[in-house]
Each structure stands twice: as C-alpha cells, then as structure tokens.
C-alpha cells in the first residue's frame, strides 16, 4: 500500500512543477524556465510534501479497508489528498507568515491538481490495490473471526 501512495506522490511531484509553472504564467505573467530554479523547486516540494506522503499512506489504509464501493473509495481518496495538501500548505503559511488569508490557499491549487491527475493516472493500480487488499483471507491479516471455547476448570 505504501508503494501505491509513494508512486502517486512521485508522479505528483513532477506534475506539480508543470501546474505551478502554468499558474505563475496565468496569474502573474511569469514563466520560470531556469534549470536551477526547477531543481530547487523540486527539492523544496519534496521536503515540504513528506508529511503528506506519510499521512496519505495512513489515510489510504483506512479508505481501502472500508466497506464502500471502489468508486466511493477513490473519491474519498481524492478528497483526502486535497485536504492533506491544503492542510500542509496552511501549516506552512502559519509557520512562516503567521496569518492566513483565503486567497493564499489558492496557491495550493497546483498541488491539488497534481495529486488528482497522478491519482487518475494510477487509477488502475488503485483498483488492483483494492482487489488485493480486500481479497486476503482474514486469518492472513491477523483477524480471526471464530471463537474458541476454553473449558473452565473448577478448582
């Protein structure tokens, strides 16, 4: 399960660069092409999004083992991933700036779009993960559904 989230996270890192560049171009008329900036952007993006990777892994475990349909699970994953990006961005703003404006959260849109597109690209693997995790026999995953009767001894 961790590899599923990790691969989606890696794809999202690359996509984030393109979505961020597009948002700079659309909203501010700037286009950053310098290779040095691209390297620093990817490095900072990876470091800042590490908590999202770990929280996403934990949340995906809860989502996959739920009793919903695979479509509902996928949409729950999309909502959860967007919330994790917004939460990480919000914590980052509070840590460095101390104040929060609603317009500042618009800067999280490239991150949200990148994880959504990465998740859509990996939709087939999501279905496969759901099938594998939910088809395991219960005794393999450590849950036993039968009860043993123990004789009570009178002393």
If you write DSSP's letter for every residue of 37-78 in order, what string do you get? HHHHHHHHHHHHHHHHHHHHHHHHHHHHTSSS-HHHHHHHHH
CB atoms within 10 A of CB 60: 23
CA-closest candidate to residue 49, choices 9, 90, 102: 9
Residues 6+ apart with CB under 8 A from 53: 5, 6, 9
Token pair in block for residue 46 = 């990876």
pTM of the model: 0.77
Contact predicate 99/61, CB 8 Å:
no
CA distance 25 to 135: 47
Question: Which pLDDT value is given to residue 3?
Answer: 86
Question: Which pLDDT value is given to residue 23?
Answer: 83
Question: Which pLDDT value is given to residue 59?
Answer: 93
- Give pLDDT tens digits along the chain (155 positions): 778 889 999 999 999 988 988 887 887 777 666 677 778 888 888 898 998 999 999 999 899 998 899 999 999 999 999 999 999 888 888 887 766 677 777 888 999 999 999 999 999 999 898 888 777 555 444 444 444 454 555 55
Contact predicate 45/15, CB 8 Å:
no
Contact predicate 8/77, CB 8 Å:
no
CB atoms within 10 A of CB 62: 10
CA dihedral 119, 123, 127, 132 (to 10 degrees): -60
All structural domains of the chain with their residue ranges: 2-132
Question: Which pLDDT value is given to residue 148?
Answer: 44
């Amino acid at each position: 399960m961790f590899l599923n989230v990790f691969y989606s996270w890696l794809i999202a890192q690359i996509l984030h660069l393109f979505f961020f560049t597009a948002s700079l171009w659309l909203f501010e008329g700037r286009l950053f092409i310098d290779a040095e900036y691209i390297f620093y952007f990817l490095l900072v993006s990876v470091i800042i999004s590490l908590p999202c990777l770990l929280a996403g892994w934990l949340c995906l475990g809860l989502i996959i083992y739920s009793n919903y349909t695979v479509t509902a699970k996928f949409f729950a994953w999309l909502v959860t991933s967007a919330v994790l990006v917004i939460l990480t961005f919000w914590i980052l703003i509070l840590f460095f700036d101390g104040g929060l404006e609603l317009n500042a959260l618009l800067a999280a849109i490239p991150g949200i779009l990148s994880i959504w597109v990465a998740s859509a690209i990996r939709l087939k693997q999501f279905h496969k993960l759901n099938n594998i995790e939910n088809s395991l026999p219960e005794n393999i995953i450590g849950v036993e559904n039968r009860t043993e009767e123990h004789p009570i001894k009178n002393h």
